[in-house]
Structures are given as structure tokens and as C-alpha cells.
A = this chain, B = another copy of it.
Amino acid sequence: MKLYNVKLLTVTCEILAQKNVIDILAKHHISGYTTYEVEGNGARGLRGQGLKNEKNVKVEVIMQEDKLQDVIEEIARTLFTNFAIVLYVGDVGVLRTEKFV
């Protein structure tokens, strides 16, 4: 079976920024994503030990390359300054491109 090249965007951020990230995805008409809670360390210090609000979350989005630039630009512009956040992009192959707009 042929695997089609798409992008896997991963955003690791504080849990209270999750809504913002998903809103940005929705604005770009991307409705598919996967999320899960994580802990971590970074520029804003150790996160995830105390209250639920202090945890991190990963948001993973499989998407076509064409939307990627707009999405990461908006995330970077609106969230990078005020939130604990990290973003990276990888290449993956999928079977059904029609699922990932």
C-alpha cells in the first residue's frame, strides 16, 4: 500500500494554552488532532508536578504541507511570547490523505 507524505506537527505547551492551539487549528479548518497530558522541563522551568493547570499537553496534528506554514506562523505569533510552548514538525507517511486536509 502506498504511503503518502504528510506533515506531523507537534505542539507541546502548558495545558491552559491547549484551547488556543485547537482554536487556531479550527480557524484553519483542521478538525483532526490528538492530545495527551505530559510533564516536562524547559525555559519556563519544571512543569507538571502540582496542580492540573500547571501540567503540559501535547497536541499532534497530521496535516498537508500547504496549511503548515499558516498554522505555525499563527501559533508562533500569538502564543510564543506568553506561554510555555515548543513546536516541531516531522515527516510521516499515511494511507488515506483524504482524512488529513
- Which of A's residues lie within 8 Å of B, judged by CB? 1, 3, 6, 8, 10, 12, 31-43, 56, 58, 62, 69, 72-73, 76, 80, 86-96, 99
Contact = CB atoms under 8 A, between A and B. Distances in A.
A6 B10 CA distance: 14
A20 to B, nearest CB: 16
Contact of A39 (B35, B41, B86, B96): B35
A32 B92 contact: no
10 contacts: A32-B40, A33-B40, A33-B41, A34-B39, A34-B40, A34-B58, A62-B88, A88-B93, A89-B93, A89-B94
Given A3-B89, A34-B40, A87-B95, 17 more contacts: A1-B69, A1-B73, A8-B88, A31-B41, A31-B42, A32-B40, A32-B41, A33-B41, A34-B39, A34-B58, A35-B38, A36-B36, A88-B93, A89-B92, A89-B94, A90-B90, A90-B92
